Structure 1
Amino acid sequence: MSSVKIGIIGGSGIDDPDILHSRQEKFVETPYGKPSDALIIGQIEGIDCVLLARHGRKHDVMPSNINFRANVYALKQEGCTHLVVTTACGSLREEIAPGHIVVPDQFIDRTYKRQQTYYDGEEGSPKGISHIAMHSPFCERTRQHLIASVKSLGLTCHDKGTVVTIEGPRFSSRAESKMYRILGGDVINMTTIPEVILAKEQGLCYAAIALPTDYDSWRETGEHVTVEVVLKTFKMNAANGKKVLLDVIPKIAAEDWTDTIKEHETTAKEAIM
Structure 2
Amino acid sequence: MRIAVVTGSGTYALPGLADASRTTVETAHGAVPVTLGAVDGSEIVHLARHRDGHELVSHQVTHRANVAALQQLQVDAVLAVTVCGACDPSATLGSLLVFDDLHFLSNRLPDGSLCTLHDTPAAPGRGHWVFEGPFSEPLRRALLAAAADADLAAADGGVYGHVDGPRFNTRAEIRSLVAAGVSAVSQTAGPETVLCGEAGIPYALLGFQTDYANGVGDEATPVSTLLELIARSTASFSAVLAGAIPRVAADPPAAVGTSLTWD
TM over 0.5: yes
Percentage identity across aligned positions? 27
Which of these residues, 18, 22, 33, is aligned with residue 21 of structure 1? 18
Q: Which runs of 5+ in 2 are unaligned?
A: none
Listed as ranges, the matches of 1:179-218 within 5 Å are 179-218=176-215
CA separation of 1:160 and 1:216: change in aligned 2, threshold 3 A = same
2:261 equivalent to 1:272:
yes
- Deviation (angstroms), 1:78: 0.9
Aligned length: 258
For 1:117, the equivalent position in structure 2 comes to: 116
Query: Which protein is richer in strand relative to its size?
Result: 2
Aligned partner of 1:145: which letter? Answer: A
Aligned partner of 1:116: which letter? Answer: C
- Deviation (angstroms), 1:15: 2.5
Q: TM-score by structure 1 length?
A: 0.88
- Deviation (angstroms), 1:120: 0.9
Distance in 1 (alpha carbons) for counterparts of 2:146 and 2:178? 28
For 1:54, the equivalent position in structure 2 comes to: 49
User: What root-mean-square deviation, in Å, do the aligned CA atoms of Structure 1 and Structure 2 show?
Assistant: 1.9
Distance in 1 (alpha carbons) for counterparts of 2:68 and 2:90? 36
Q: Which runs of 5+ in 1 are unaligned?
A: none
- Deviation (angstroms), 1:183: 1.0
Distance in 1 (alpha carbons) for counterparts of 2:217 and 2:232? 26
- Deviation (angstroms), 1:5: 0.9
Q: TM-score by structure 2 length?
A: 0.92
Aligned partner of 1:22: which letter? Answer: D
For 2:147, the equivalent position in structure 1 comes to: 150
Listed as ranges, the matches of 1:1-273 within 5 Å are 4-35=1-32, 38-111=33-106, 112=108, 113-121=112-120, 126-127=123-124, 129-219=126-216, 221-224=218-221, 226=223, 228-255=224-251, 257=252, 260-261=253-254, 264=255, 267-268=257-258, 270-273=259-262
Give the conservation status (yes or no) of the 8 Å contact 2:97–2:154.
yes
Please identify runs of 4+ aligned residues in structure 1 that moved more than 6 A: none
- Deviation (angstroms), 1:42: 0.2
CA separation of 1:45 and 1:171: change in aligned 2, threshold 3 A = same
